[in-house]
């Protein structure tokens, strides 16, 4: 028996975040919202289909400069994304 155990090396095909504004940004940028995990009654987790673009978008969201064109989203698109995610949060 070896001293090391190998972790599951499969790539997760989902990205999860409980950050509402990051979720809204990803949704506005066209990422597919797969579900909302409501396992914890105190917080919801947005579950997106993971893509290589997602990693770039999260980096831009977290560390992009204020006027960076990659972070910019049309205001109407972002408002619609926020409204849609809020509607989905309150659906039963």
d(CA 47, CA 70): 22
Q: What are the counts of helices (DSSP H) followed by strands (DSSP E) for the chain?
A: 3, 3
Assess whether pLDDT exceeds 50 at residue 2.
no
Tens digit of each residue's pLDDT (9 = 90 or more) over 69-84: 888 999 999 999 999 9
pLDDT > 70: percent of the chain: 87
46: left (phi over 0), alpha (psi -120 to 50) or beta: beta
> What's the confidence (pLDDT) of residue 3?
43
Q: Per-residue confidence at 4, pLDDT binned at 50, 70, 90?
A: very low
> What's the confidence (pLDDT) of residue 69?
87
């Amino acid at each position: 028996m070896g001293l090391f155990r190998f972790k599951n090396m499969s790539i997760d095909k989902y990205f999860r975040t409980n950050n509402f504004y990051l979720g809204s940004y990803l949704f506005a940028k066209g990422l597919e919202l797969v579900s909302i995990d409501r396992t914890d009654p105190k917080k919801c987790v947005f579950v997106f289909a993971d893509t290589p673009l997602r990693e770039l978008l999260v980096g831009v969201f977290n560390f992009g400069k204020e006027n960076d064109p990659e972070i910019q989203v049309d205001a109407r698109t972002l408002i619609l994304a926020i409204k849609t995610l809020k509607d989905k949060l309150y659906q039963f």
